[in-house]
A and B are shown apart, each in its own frame.
Chain A
Amino acid sequence: MHPIKTPTRLFATLLTLLALDLQAAEGLKVHMLLVTPDNEVYASHIKGAVLGQTEGNIQGRFLGIDYQLEEVSAASGAVARDGISAVIVAAPFDQLLQVYETYAKSGVPVFNIALQNDGLRQVCRPGLYHTPPSDRMLADAEQQWAKVNDGAAITALAWHPEFVKFAGRDLNKRYTEQFGEPMDSAAWAGWAATRIVAEAVVRTSSNEGPVLNAYIRDELGFDGQKGLAQTFRNNGQLRQPLLLQDAEGQLVGEAPVRGAVADTNDLDSLGIPGCL
Chain B
Amino acid sequence: MNKLSAKPRLRMLAGLPLLLVAGLLQAQTHRLFVTNEGDNTVTVIDSRTLKVEATIAVGNRPRGIGFSPDHSKVYVALGDDDAIGVIDTQNLTLVDTIPAGSDPEAFAVHPGGNLYLSNEDDNLASVLDPVSREILAEIPVGIEPEGVGVTPDGSKVLVTSESTNMVHVIDVSQNAVVANILVGARPREVTFTADSKWAFVTSEVAGEVAKLDLATNKVVQTKSLQEIDGVKPKGVLLSPDEKLLYISTGRSNSVAVLDAETLELIDNIAVGNRVWGIALSRDGSRLYAANGVSNTVSVVDTATRKEIATVDVGDMPWGVVLDD
Chain A contact residues, CB within 8 Å of chain B: 55, 58-59, 62-63, 167, 170-171, 173-174, 199, 202-203, 221-223, 225, 227-229, 263-265
Contacts and interface: CB of A to CB of B under 8 A. Distances in A.
Given A202-B182, A223-B163, A59 B205 contact: no
A59 B144 contact: no
Interface string B180-223: 10100110000000000000000001110000000000000000
A62 to B, nearest CB: 4
A62 B180 contact: yes
A50 to B, nearest CB: 15
B143 A55 contact: yes
30 contacts: A55-B164, A58-B123, A58-B142, A58-B164, A59-B142, A59-B161, A59-B164, A62-B164, A62-B166, A62-B168, A62-B177, A62-B180, A167-B162, A167-B186, A170-B143, A171-B163, A174-B121, A199-B185, A202-B182, A203-B182, A221-B205, A221-B206, A223-B185, A223-B186, A225-B163, A227-B232, A229-B205, A229-B206, A264-B230, A265-B230
B205 A223 contact: yes
B166 A170 contact: no
A167 B144 contact: yes
Contacts of B164: 55, 58-59, 62
Contact of B180 (A63, A170, A173): A63
A170 B185 contact: no
Nearest to A228: B205
A133 B212 CA distance: 37
A59 B229 contact: no
A199 B183 CA distance: 11
B206 A59 contact: no
Nearest to A56: B164
Contact of A170 (B142, B144, B165, B205): B144
B315 interface: no
Nearest to B205: A223
In order of increasing CB-CB distance, the 9 nearest A-B pairs are A62-B180, A223-B205, A223-B185, A59-B164, A265-B230, A229-B205, A223-B186, A170-B144, A58-B143
A265 B205 contact: no
Nearest to A220: B185
A202 B161 CA distance: 15
A170 B206 contact: no
A55 B121 contact: no
A265 B182 CA distance: 26
Contacts of A55: 143, 163-164
A228 B205 CA distance: 6
Nearest to A173: B121
B109 to A, nearest CB: 25
Interface in B252-305: none
B165 A59 contact: yes
A202 B162 CA distance: 15
A167 B121 contact: no
Nearest to B123: A58
A59 B166 contact: yes
